[in-house]
């Protein structure tokens, strides 16, 4: 058990003196939970291998699952990566700071613990004032999400306290995150670029900036796991509640058919869009609305909150509808597929 120091800061007006104290401790080898616009991260200085190893212990994270290096200015990029091409610069000039992680060739200064021994490094520049102030002081910070491995990523104050109090040296609490889902990860060290994990930045936006296609693999869609984790979210089960979750990729009739086939007496919750909620009340014990199909950012923002709440609902099994795989919808479906214990696909999917 670690004696955790808790700092609460205002996202609109962060207390620089508080963050200076946190900075000193990070430089001294401590690990910190800190906010970003996507989810909370559990970070350490990339120049403290001892602290990086403690991140894996605190999360129960496999050592072959690389971290993301968080930077706050372009100069940091050249500290941690090499062969930064004009294509890369074109992308980051538009997309950074923001919820986009790029896989690049790593520099010799990045320790093996941050990259799981790979020759590449995952890098992003968060669009969050607290993260920016902190990283300006500490230099690059390597961090995965601040949750116990396999569980939904933390997006609220409650989540980080439940998962990391007594595990991290410090927690910087700035309230709920903005997007509620992790960054998009693109391997731009290959030609053509590959989407490794969909996230808060839609792949369509990245294609528009680059002016070239980006390969979307079955791993990125969430159907299969990668044999080797080049980036977070590619290998191992993620985002999962303890309660069994069935994902039905079909229309309302398909979902109702699945519900009817579940063993009598089992308490059931349905995760649905607001447009379909009325159809389920007579069939289940609890109807949980994630948001509207017309506003998938709302659905994404609520997803991890609901996946955590499932275990406190007093139900035996949860069922989720599918959502349109456009924009951030691809990230929503990736997370639902990885969180599910079973996926049922219909030949007649109608999400739009």
Consult the annotation and say whether 153 binds a ligand: yes
CB within 8 Å of 275: residues ≥ 6 apart = 292, 293, 294
Of 196, 213, 329, 207, the closest CA to residue 273 belongs to 329
pLDDT of residue 191: 86
**C-alpha span between 255 and 308 (Å, rounded):** 22
Consult the annotation and say whether 86 binds a ligand: no
CB within 8 Å of 164: residues ≥ 6 apart = 4, 33, 42, 58, 146, 147, 154, 171
Consult the annotation and say whether 295 binds a ligand: no
**C-alpha span between 128 and 12 (Å, rounded):** 10
Consult the annotation and say whether 276 binds a ligand: no
Q: What are phi and psi of 98, to 5 degrees?
A: 170, 180
Consult the annotation and say whether 53 binds a ligand: no
Q: How many helices (H) and strands (E) does the chain have?
A: 12, 17
Consult the annotation and say whether 223 binds a ligand: no
Consult the annotation and say whether 60 binds a ligand: no
Consult the annotation and say whether 197 binds a ligand: yes
**C-alpha span between 34 and 40 (Å, rounded):** 6
Q: Using the structure block, give the residue that is written with the tokens 């303890």.
A: 242
Q: Hey, which residues does 314 pair with through a beta bridge?
A: none
Q: Which domains does the chain have, with CATH numbers?
A: 5-221 (3.90.870.10), 245-345 (3.40.50.11030)
Rounded to 5 degrees, what angle do the CA atoms 102, 198, 310 make? 130
How many residues appear in the chain? 352
**C-alpha span between 110 and 317 (Å, rounded):** 44
Global pTM? 0.93
Consult the annotation and say whether 120 binds a ligand: yes
How many Cα atoms within 13 Å fall on the side-chain side of residue 112? 3
Q: Where are the beta strands (DSSP E) in the chain?
A: 5-8, 32-34, 41-45, 68-70, 81-82, 100-106, 120-124, 141-143, 170-173, 184-187, 194-197, 215-216, 245-249, 268-273, 286-291, 317-321, 342-345
pLDDT in tens, the chain (352 residues): 899 999 999 999 999 999 999 999 999 999 999 999 999 999 999 999 999 999 999 999 988 889 999 999 999 999 999 999 988 999 999 999 999 999 999 999 999 999 988 999 999 999 999 999 999 999 999 999 999 998 999 999 999 999 999 999 999 999 999 999 999 999 998 889 999 999 999 999 999 999 999 999 888 888 877 665 566 665 556 678 999 999 999 999 999 999 999 988 899 999 999 999 999 999 999 999 999 999 999 999 999 999 999 999 999 999 999 999 999 999 999 999 999 999 998 755 554 4
Consult the annotation and say whether 65 binds a ligand: yes
């Amino acid at each position: 058990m670690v004696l955790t120091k808790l700092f609460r800061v205002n996202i609109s007006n962060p207390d620089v003196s508080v963050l200076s104290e946190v900075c000193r401790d990070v430089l001294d080898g401590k690990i910190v939970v800190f906010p970003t616009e996507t989810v909370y991260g559990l970070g350490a200085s990339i120049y403290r291998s001892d602290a990086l190893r403690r991140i894996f212990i605190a999360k129960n994270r496999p050592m072959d699952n690389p971290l993301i290096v968080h930077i706050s200015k372009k100069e940091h990029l050249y500290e941690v990566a090499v062969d930064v091409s004009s294509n890369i610069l074109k992308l980051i000039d538009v997309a950074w700071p923001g919820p986009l992680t790029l896989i690049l060739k790593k520099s010799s200064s990045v320790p093996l613990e941050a990259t799981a021994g790979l020759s590449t490094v995952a890098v992003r520049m968060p669009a969050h004032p607290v993260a920016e102030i902190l990283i300006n002081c500490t230099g690059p910070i390597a961090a995965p999400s601040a949750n116990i491995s396999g569980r939904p990523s933390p997006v609220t104050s409650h989540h980080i306290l439940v998962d990391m109090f007594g595990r991290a040296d410090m927690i910087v609490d700035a309230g709920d995150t903005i997007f509620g889902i992790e960054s998009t990860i693109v391997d731009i060290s290959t030609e053509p670029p590959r989407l490794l994990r969909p996230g808060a930045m839609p792949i369509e936006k990245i294609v528009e900036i680059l002016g070239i296609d980006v390969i979307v693999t079955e791993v990125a869609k969430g159907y299969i796991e990668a044999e080797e984790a080049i980036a977070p979210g590619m290998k191992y089960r993620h985002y999962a509640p303890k309660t069994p979750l069935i994902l039905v990729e079909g229309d309302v009739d398909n979902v109702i058919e699945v519900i009817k086939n579940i063993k009598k007496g089992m308490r059931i919750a349905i995760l649905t869009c607001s447009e379909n909620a009325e159809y389920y009340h007579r069939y289940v014990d609890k109807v949980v609305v994630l948001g509207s199909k017309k506003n998938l950012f709302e659905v994404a923002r609520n997803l991890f909150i609901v996946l955590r709440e499932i275990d406190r609902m007093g139900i035996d099994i949860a069922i989720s509808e599918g959502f349109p795989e456009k924009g951030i919808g691809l990230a929503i479906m990736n997370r639902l597929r990885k969180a599910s214990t079973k996926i049922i696909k219909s030949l007649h999917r109608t999400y739009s």
